[in-house]
Chains A and B, each alone.
Chain A
């Protein structure tokens, strides 16, 4: 912000620097796993990987928005479980058709997000605390709604999560891709997106400029909740059952993906596309380690190390981009 509009060539250079690092890390991971396993570099692997990444992708997009306005949402995993439980009960017990139940699931997520946002802005409480509360509330709600039982739905919901014949990816993944693209456009090409970045950079200045930051922040939390609801639809569809224990620790996976993608935890800086790369890195890492049959302790050590290395690499990338522009 505030800098001179760069020439077209410089813009392309900057974009290359922006995405090259992430692409490189991703390619290196894929190369490494392909070398270590005979069956990693196959369409089957990438098809299941893409379809599994859909839920984390949409949730990470919402988390990117929240981090850009210098907030945090710890409740996404629980909101996913709550949405999934509502969806499961609506279909398995009330006999609702899939579209209506999915809509109810997303509305549940929106509502949880709206509560997060409203409380955060109304009393100016750190979103860390508000969403920590929602983490517990939504989880309790999920157990209540599902009566602490896994809700088996079966084929009635399989449509969105099942890979389409021919292209190998599911409608869920395509919707997730669309969400990434729309998210990037909103963040970089709209007034709303500019406001988000401004709020994350310096909320005080935004207020003094005569713009009320509160509705914008509230809407961002609502979007994040709604996307957690959408993630619940994807996950439930993929598993054919809704588990009230779903998504424990998911908030940390989402934050990790967003941070790997270079979004600042301090707000004011972020990229939805890079978040998507972060999700892919986490998904490839998980699939690869599973496929090699790596045991749990090593899995955790490696995953943690990759997160830290990716974030350190991002610091250098930032320096490089700043030096160029």
Chain B
């Protein structure tokens, strides 16, 4: 509920401190510092504009993820590192992640750092579908190949800024539809269901919600609540608990990721309604597999997270070699149930 932004606030408060001191007599040091920063920035700009066409025969690819603390993204990064080890003679890899999935500013500055570092390609899972477009445009202008993975950049914004960035990744809507259809098979028309969506600004979250809605509406189920669990287990737990109290006849909760599905399953258990309320998730993280085997979570969707970054890297390599156009590429999604885990 209350996000910690203290670090950033501290940073913002620094220049103000300088202004204050300038007004007083001890401004000389501050002045020198500002000059130094300006000088460094200028040097940085100079470097960027004199980017050579190709540093050597071995391209460098920067993989920019969302939170590496999230299992889904760390699996993705591990998959990419393994791929790089197997193809060490073809490219080198820099993996970067942000501290918390919603810290857009940090992700933007990582993109800028990667441009400054003159990488050949950036493969990025954007923390926001819209906000990253301008900085990625700067990357394209600096001659960097950009490939978008995981969370698709908004088409409207891409068009507005006049850039074309290929999206390599799964159809989240289709994946969620599969889970929703599997869930609908166990229910009857008119049953009450609820959706725990992700962060509402993220495109993949919107797509998953839409996929669930497609399937649930097609089966004539009644969607009584849609609320955000912010992708988090504890947050989803409290939202799910409230949904369960508010809707005594609730038959199922469709969660847009597995962390939230775990939170919902715990809420159902606490409410003593295990077996009466079904849960589906998305991502197939290791923690849910036991829950699926035990029947506490009905199904999840595997979008082959370990391969997602690799698909993006392959696309970037092909584009660097001039073998591929900047076209979207769809990767597979599979429904995971107790039967398929065995």
Partner among B2, B241, B259, B272 whose Cβ is within 8 Å of the Cβ of A243: B259
Q: Which of B184-225 contact A (CB under 8 A)?
A: 200, 225
Bound-state CA distance A187–B288 (Å) is 44
Do the beta carbons of A48 and B267 come within 8 Å of each other? Answer: yes
Which of chain A's residues have a CB closer than 8 A to the CB of B96?
A: none
How far in angstroms is the closest Cβ of chain A from B11?
A: 12
Do the beta carbons of B246 and A293 come within 8 Å of each other? Answer: yes
Q: Give the interface size bracket for B toward A.
A: 35 or more
Do the beta carbons of A286 and B238 come within 8 Å of each other? Answer: yes
Q: What total of chain A residues lie within 8 Å of the partner, measured CB to CB?
A: 52
How far in angstroms is the closest Cβ of chain B from A76?
A: 11
Which of chain A's residues have a CB closer than 8 A to the CB of B67?
A: 245
The verdict on A239 contacting B263 (CB below 8 Å), with A132-B6, A248-B4 known, is yes
Interface-located stretch among A3-11, A37-45, A103-111, A199-207: A37-45
Q: Is A241 close to B, CB under 8 A?
A: yes
Which of chain A's residues have a CB closer than 8 A to the CB of B71?
A: 148-150
The closest CB in chain B to the CB of A255 belongs to: B2
How far in angstroms is the closest Cβ of chain A from B239?
A: 5
Q: Is A258 close to B, CB under 8 A?
A: no
Interface-located stretch among B42-50, B82-90, B227-235, B304-312: B227-235
Bound-state CA distance A249–B233 (Å) is 14
Do the beta carbons of A42 and B227 come within 8 Å of each other? Answer: no
Bound-state CA distance A253–B233 (Å) is 17
Do the beta carbons of B69 and A245 come within 8 Å of each other? Answer: yes
Q: Is A287 close to B, CB under 8 A?
A: yes
Do the beta carbons of A287 and B242 come within 8 Å of each other? Answer: yes
Do the beta carbons of A253 and B287 come within 8 Å of each other? Answer: no
Q: Which of B242-301 contact A (CB under 8 A)?
A: 242-248, 259, 262-263, 265-267, 269-272, 285-288, 290-291, 294
Bound-state CA distance A206–B246 (Å) is 53
Q: Is A181 close to B, CB under 8 A?
A: no
Do the beta carbons of B242 and A238 come within 8 Å of each other? Answer: no
The verdict on A48 contacting B4 (CB below 8 Å), with A143-B69, A238-B237, A287-B242 known, is no
The closest CB in chain B to the CB of A292 belongs to: B246
Q: Is B21 close to A, CB under 8 A?
A: no
Bound-state CA distance A75–B226 (Å) is 33
Do the beta carbons of A150 and B287 come within 8 Å of each other? Answer: yes
Bound-state CA distance A300–B70 (Å) is 24
Q: Which of B1-37 contact A (CB under 8 A)?
A: 1-4, 6-7, 10
Which of chain B's residues have a CB closer than 8 A to the CB of A150?
A: 71, 233, 259, 262, 285-287
Do the beta carbons of B245 and A241 come within 8 Å of each other? Answer: no
Task: Tell which of B245, B247, B248 has the most Cβ of chain A within 10 Å.
Answer: B245
Q: Is B149 close to A, CB under 8 A?
A: no
Bound-state CA distance A149–B289 (Å) is 13
Which of chain B's residues have a CB closer than 8 A to the CB of A241?
A: 233, 262, 266, 287
Which of chain A's residues have a CB closer than 8 A to the CB of B244?
A: 44, 48
Which of chain B's residues have a CB closer than 8 A to the CB of A286?
A: 1, 238
Interface-located stretch among A151-159, A212-220, A271-279: A151-159
The verdict on A152 contacting B266 (CB below 8 Å), with A243-B233, A287-B242, A293-B225 known, is no
Bound-state CA distance A324–B200 (Å) is 51
The secondary-structure label for the interface of chain A is helix
Q: Is A240 close to B, CB under 8 A?
A: yes
Bound-state CA distance A233–B238 (Å) is 17
Task: Tell which of A40, A52, A240, A253 has the most Cβ of chain B within 10 Å.
Answer: A240
Bound-state CA distance A244–B248 (Å) is 32
Do the beta carbons of A154 and B245 come within 8 Å of each other? Answer: no
Bound-state CA distance A146–B207 (Å) is 30
Do the beta carbons of A249 and B225 come within 8 Å of each other? Answer: no
The verdict on A291 contacting B246 (CB below 8 Å), with A52-B238, A143-B69, A149-B287 known, is yes
Q: Is B141 close to A, CB under 8 A?
A: no
Q: Is B92 close to A, CB under 8 A?
A: no
The closest CB in chain A to the CB of B245 belongs to: A45
Q: Is B155 close to A, CB under 8 A?
A: no
Partner among A39, A163, A244 whose Cβ is within 8 Å of the Cβ of B69: A244
Which of chain B's residues have a CB closer than 8 A to the CB of A174?
A: none
Which of chain A's residues have a CB closer than 8 A to the CB of B241?
A: 48, 52, 287, 290
Do the beta carbons of B245 and A40 come within 8 Å of each other? Answer: yes
The closest CB in chain B to the CB of A251 belongs to: B4
The closest CB in chain A to the CB of B194 belongs to: A293
The verdict on A235 contacting B234 (CB below 8 Å), with A148-B74, A158-B269 known, is yes
Binding site for B on A (CB under 8 A): 37, 39-40, 42, 44-45, 48, 51-52, 74, 77, 132, 135, 139, 143, 148-152, 154, 158, 161-163, 235, 238-241, 243-249, 251-253, 256, 286-287, 290-293, 295-296, 299-300, 303
- Pull 12 A–B residue pairs with CB atoms less than 8 Å apart, ordered by A: A48-B241, A48-B245, A48-B271, A51-B270, A152-B288, A161-B270, A239-B233, A240-B266, A245-B69, A248-B3, A252-B2, A287-B238
Closest 10 CB pairs of A and B: A290-B242, A252-B2, A152-B287, A291-B242, A150-B287, A148-B74, A291-B246, A45-B245, A48-B241, A249-B2
Binding site for A on B (CB under 8 A): 1-4, 6-7, 10, 67-71, 74, 100, 200, 225-228, 230, 232-234, 237-239, 241-248, 259, 262-263, 265-267, 269-272, 285-288, 290-291, 294
